[in-house]
Amino acid sequence: MKCFVTGGAGFIGSHLVDRLLNEKHEVTVFDDMSSGKEEFIAHHFNNPNFNFIKEDLINKTQVEKEIKDHDVVFHIAANPDVRSGADNPSIAEKDIQATYNLLDAMRMQNIKKIVFSSSSVIYGEMCRWNHAWIQPFRSRNQCLQPWSQLNNGCDKNRRTCQKRTWS
């Protein structure tokens, strides 16, 4: 299987890349290295099943070019300091635009499989009650913090693109 991994040079993404390559999949890592580290993926540089593209998902033309002929997308890329989005909305806007560019490129290339992970921030902070750690109940669309809207928005983007493309 040909796998396209955004954010594949980050801590979590690089572990996913290790696993996919160990299972004999072909892997393309698409990462702008803003928070990723070359040392996390350097041991794969000589692997013929590994391809690395240092690029930003904001560059829609490059995303469309590189995603071609892949079977599945693992979307791990995002700003790791999502909490700063409360003070700087451009961080959230960039992550949402990047996700939109990726989904649109998938639509154009007829790639129907995506694995999209979310930050734990969307679920809120745990609190202590009666000597136990619990998570306060939140309705499906209620986010604890303003920056949680980022992942909520990306998920809504994904569902909208899915309805338009694959329904």
d(CA 113, CA 64) in angstroms, rounded, equals 16
Name the band, by pLDDT with cuts 50, 70 and 90, for residue 166: very low
- Kindly state the DSSP code that residue 44 receives in the 8-state scheme: G
Chain segment 68-121, per-residue pLDDT in tens:
999 999 999 987 766 666 677 777 788 889 999 999 999 999 999 999 876 655
Tens of pLDDT along 15-30? 999 999 999 999 999 9
Kindly provide the b/e burial profile for residues 99-127, where b requires at least 16 CB atoms within 10 angstroms of the residue's own CB: bbbbbbbbeebebeebebeebebbebeee
Nearest to 4 by CA among 81, 83, 62: 62
Question: What is the set of domains in the chain, with CATH numbers?
Answer: 2-166 (3.40.50.720)
What is the chain's alpha carbon radius of gyration, rounded to the nearest angstrom? 17
Phi, psi dihedrals of residue 67, rounded to the nearest 5°: -80, -15
> pTM score, two decimals?
0.75
